[in-house]
C-alpha cells in the first residue's frame, strides 16, 4: 500500500504565490515517487487569478463548510479564508482555519506523514496534535523564522505574547520528527533552540527550470502596452509581493536621481505597501517608475527576460528572517540581481560567492543610493557586465537548485523518517 502524506500549507494551487508554487512541485514529486498525496490548504486569497481558478475549480462540500479541488489528480482540501481589512475578522478567519484544519486533518485516514511550511508557526502546532492522535510523523519546514520575523518587523512587542510564541516555536521544533530550513544562516539561527540538533536539516528552495529559463527577446510573450520595446533603456524590475520585507525608499530616491536618464524601473505585484509606492510615485512625478498589477505565472519568464536587471532591497528589520524565492527564478532566467542586504543574511550568504549580483551590504542611506546610481549608470552604458553576472547565476541554478534535485531531498528525508 502506498505511503500517504498530508501536505498542510496555508497556500497551494490555485493560489498564485511563491510558497504555493514551491509546494505544488513538492506535492507532484511525492506523487510521482509513489506516495498518496492529499493537500490541506485554504481557498485562494493571496493572488487570485481567474484563469487558474478556471483550470482548478473548487467544489463546495458540507454546504460550503470547506471545498475540494484536483491538482494533477491530487486531492486538495480548501478551508475558506479571505484577506479581511478588519483585524477582528482576520483573527476570526484565522481561528476558523485552524479549527477546521484540525478537524479535517484528523478525519483523513491512513496518513503516515505530515509536511508543512511556515508561516504561520501555529500550523506546526496543529500538525503535532494531528500526528500525536493519529500516530503519524511530522516534518516542519521553516521558510521564515517566527516569531523573530514579527518581532523585528516591530509589530510584536508585548512580552507575554513574545514569550508564548517563543515557547510554541521551541515546542514545534522539538516535537516534530524533523525540521528543515532553507539556508545555513537560518540553520545557525535556530539550531540552539533544539534539544536534539540532529532533527534539523538544510534543504534549499528550488526553481522549475523547465518554466524559468533564458528567453530570447524576440520570443517574449508580453502586453506591449505595459512592457513596450525599449532597447535603448536600462530596464530594472521587481516582481513579487510589495510588502514590509522590502525597503522601498532606496528605489524612490534612486528613481529621483535618474529621472532624466535612460534608466527605468518596473514594480509588478500587489501588497500592503503598494498604495505607499503609488502615492510617492505620483507626488514626485516619477515617470521612470512603472507600477504594474500581478501577472500570470506563465508570463514570469518573459517578464524576467524583459528586464536587464532585477532589484531586491531587503528591509533591515527583516533581512535575516527570510529568503526571497524569486532569487532562484531570476538566476534561472540568466538575469543579474541588484541587492541591498546586510552581511550574514540568507540572501547575502547565498549570492556573495555566486558572482551573479551587485551587492550592497552596508553604509548610510546616502551611500547606498549613490552606489546604486553609479552601478546603474555604468550598466546603462555597458550591459556586458550584467550579461556575465546573469550567466554565472544560470550555471549555478542548473547545477545545484533544479526542481528535481531539491524535491528529491524532501522525499529522501520522508523515507528516512518513515523507516525509523
Q: Are residues 396 and 407 in the same domain?
A: no
Does residue 240 fall inside a structural domain?
Answer: yes
Cα atoms found within 13 Å of the Cα of residue 281, Cβ hemisphere only: 18
Q: Check residue 218 and give its pLDDT.
A: 81
Are 38 and 108 in contact by the 8 Å Cβ rule? The answer is yes
Digit-coded pLDDT (tens) for 276-323: 999 999 999 999 999 999 888 888 999 999 999 999 999 887 777 778
Q: Are residues 24 and 106 in the same domain?
A: yes
Q: Check residue 183 and give its pLDDT.
A: 85
Q: How far is CA 344 from CA 59, 148, 189, in A?
A: 46, 16, 11
Q: Is 170 exposed, middle or buried (0-12, 13-18, 19+ CB in 10 A)?
A: middle
The C-alpha cell that represents 290 in the structure block: 512603472
What DSSP string describes 271-334?
A: -TTHHHHHHHHHHTT-TTEEEE----GGGHHHHHHHSSEEEEEB-TTTTTS---THHHHHHHTT
Does residue 171 fall inside a structural domain?
Answer: yes
Q: How far is CA 364 from CA 21, 43, 340, in A?
A: 36, 43, 12
Digit-coded pLDDT (tens) for 329-375: 999 999 999 999 999 888 999 999 999 999 999 899 999 999 999 99
Q: Are residues 141 and 226 in the same domain?
A: no
| Residue 384: Cβ within 10 Å count | 8
Give the DSSP H or E segment for 366: helix 365-381
Does residue 412 fall inside a structural domain?
Answer: yes
Q: Are residues 159 and 290 in the same domain?
A: no
Q: Are residues 189 and 300 in the same domain?
A: no
Q: Check residue 344 and give its pLDDT.
A: 86
Residue 388, classed as helix, strand or coil, is helix
Q: Check residue 1 and give its pLDDT.
A: 58
234 Cβ contact partners less than 8 Å away, ≥ 6 residues apart: 262, 263, 264, 308, 309, 376, 379, 380, 383
Does residue 62 fall inside a structural domain?
Answer: yes
Does residue 212 fall inside a structural domain?
Answer: no
Does residue 334 fall inside a structural domain?
Answer: yes
Residue with cell 492529499: 38
Give the DSSP H or E segment for 312: strand 309-313
What DSSP string describes 158-186?
A: -HHHHHHHHHHHHHHHHHSSEEEESSHHH
Does residue 185 fall inside a structural domain?
Answer: yes
390 Cβ contact partners less than 8 Å away, ≥ 6 residues apart: 331, 333, 334, 335, 336, 356
Q: What is the pLDDT along the chain (420 residues), one digit of tens a residue?
A: 579 999 999 999 999 888 898 999 999 999 999 999 999 999 998 777 788 889 999 999 999 999 999 999 999 999 998 877 787 888 888 899 999 999 999 999 999 999 999 988 999 999 999 999 999 999 999 998 888 877 776 666 778 888 898 999 999 999 999 999 988 888 999 999 999 999 999 999 888 888 899 998 888 888 888 898 888 899 999 998 898 889 999 999 999 999 999 999 999 998 889 999 999 999 999 999 999 998 888 889 999 999 999 999 998 877 777 788 899 999 999 999 999 999 988 899 999 999 999 999 989 999 999 999 999 999 999 899 999 999 999 999 988 888 888 899 999 999 999 997
Question: How confident is the prediction for the chain on average, in pLDDT?
Answer: 92
Q: Are residues 149 and 290 in the same domain?
A: no
Q: Check residue 51 and give its pLDDT.
A: 83
CATH number of residue 396's parent domain? 3.40.50.2000
Q: Which of 334, 288, 294 is nearest to 310 (CA)?
A: 334
What DSSP string describes 113-125?
A: EEEEEPSSTHHHH
Q: Check residue 154 and give its pLDDT.
A: 63
Cα(370)–Cα(214) distance, integer angstroms = 30
Q: Check residue 93 and give its pLDDT.
A: 86
Q: Check residue 155 and give its pLDDT.
A: 66
Q: Check residue 391 and give its pLDDT.
A: 97
Q: Are residues 320 and 412 in the same domain?
A: no
Q: Are residues 281 and 344 in the same domain?
A: yes
Q: Check residue 158 and give its pLDDT.
A: 77
Cα(131)–Cα(89) distance, integer angstroms = 29
What is the 8-class DSSP label of residue 314?
A: B
Torsion of CA 249, 254, 260, 265, to 10 degrees: -70
The count of structural domains within the chain is 2
Range of the domain at 133: 4-206+403-419
Q: Are residues 300 and 152 in the same domain?
A: no
Q: Are residues 107 and 127 in the same domain?
A: yes
Q: Are residues 408 and 387 in the same domain?
A: no
Q: Check residue 373 and give its pLDDT.
A: 97
Cα Rg of the chain (Å, integer): 22
Q: How far is CA 92 from CA 49, 60, 68, 97, 345, in A?
A: 25, 21, 22, 9, 35
Q: Is 302 exposed, middle or buried (0-12, 13-18, 19+ CB in 10 A)?
A: middle
Cα(94)–Cα(76) distance, integer angstroms = 19
Whether pTM > 0.85 for this model: the answer is: no
Give the DSSP H or E segment for 221: none
Does residue 410 fall inside a structural domain?
Answer: yes
Q: Are residues 270 and 175 in the same domain?
A: no
Q: What is the largest CA-CA distance in the chain?
A: 67
Amino acid at each position: 500500500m502506498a505511503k500517504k502524506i498530508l501536505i498542510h500549507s496555508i497556500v497551494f494551487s490555485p493560489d498564485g504565490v511563491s510558497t504555493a508554487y514551491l509546494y505544488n512541485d513538492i506535492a507532484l514529486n511525492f506523487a510521482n515517487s509513489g506516495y498518496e498525496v492529499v493537500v490541506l490548504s485554504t481557498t485562494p486569497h493571496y493572488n487570485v487569478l481567474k484563469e487558474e481558478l478556471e483550470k482548478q475549480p473548487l467544489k463546495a462540500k458540507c454546504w460550503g463548510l470547506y471545498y475540494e479541488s484536483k491538482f494533477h489528480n491530487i486531492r486538495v482540501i480548501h478551508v475558506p479564508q479571505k484577506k479581511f481589512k478588519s483585524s477582528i475578522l482576520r483573527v476570526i478567519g484565522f481561528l476558523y482555519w485552524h479549527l477546521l484544519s484540525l478537524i479535517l486533518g484528523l478525519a483523513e485516514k491512513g496518513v503516515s506523514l505530515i509536511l508543512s511550511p511556515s508561516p504561520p508557526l501555529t500550523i506546526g502546532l496543529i500538525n503535532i496534535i494531528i500526528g500525536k492522535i493519529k500516530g503519524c510523523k511530522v516534518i516542519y519546514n521553516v521558510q521564515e523564522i517566527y516569531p523573530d520575523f514579527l518581532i523585528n518587523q516591530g509589530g510584536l512587542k508585548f512580552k507575554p505574547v513574545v514569550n508564548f510564541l517563543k515557547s510554541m516555536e521551541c515546542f514545534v521544533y522539538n516535537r516534530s520528527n524533523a525540521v528543515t530550513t532553507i539556508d545555513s544562516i537560518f540553520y545557525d539561527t535556530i539550531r540552539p533552540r533544539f534539544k536534539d540538533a540532529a532533527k534539523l536539516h538544510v534543504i534549499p528552495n528550488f526553481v522549475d527550470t523547465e518554466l524559468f529559463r533564458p528567453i530570447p527577446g524576440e520570443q517574449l510573450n508580453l502586453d506591449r502596452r505595459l512592457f513596450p520595446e525599449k532597447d535603448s533603456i536600462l530596464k530594472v524590475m521587481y516582481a513579487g509581493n510589495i510588502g514590509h520585507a522590502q525597503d522601498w525608499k532606496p528605489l524612490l530616491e534612486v528613481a529621483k536621481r535618474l529621472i532624466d536618464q535612460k534608466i527605468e524601473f518596473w514594480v509588478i505585484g500587489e501588497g500592503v505597501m503598494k498604495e505607499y509606492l503609488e502615492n510617492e510615485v505620483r507626488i514626485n512625478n516619477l515617470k521612470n517608475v512603472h507600477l504594474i498589477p500581478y501577472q500570470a505565472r506563465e508570463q514570469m519568464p518573459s517578464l524576467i527576460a524583459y528586464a536587464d536587471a532585477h532589484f531586491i532591497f531587503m528591509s533591515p528589520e527583516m533581512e535575516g528572517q527570510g529568503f526571497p524565492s524569486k532569487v532562484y527564478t531570476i538566476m534561472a532566467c540568466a538575469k543579474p540581481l541588484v541587492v541591498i542586504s546586510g552581511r550574514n543574511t540568507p540572501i547575502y550568504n547565498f549570492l556573495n560567492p555566486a558572482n551573479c549580483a551587485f551587492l550592497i551590504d552596508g553604509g548610510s542611506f546616502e551611500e547606498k543610493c549613490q552606489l546604486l546610481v553609479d552601478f546603474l549608470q555604468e550598466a546603462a552604458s555597458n550591459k556586458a557586465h550584467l550579461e556575465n553576472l546573469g550567466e554565472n547565476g544560470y550555471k549555478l541554478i542548473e547545477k545545484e537548485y533544479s526542481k528535481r534535485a531539491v524535491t528529491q531531498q524532501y522525499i529522501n528525508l520522508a523515507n528516512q523518517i518513515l523507516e525509523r
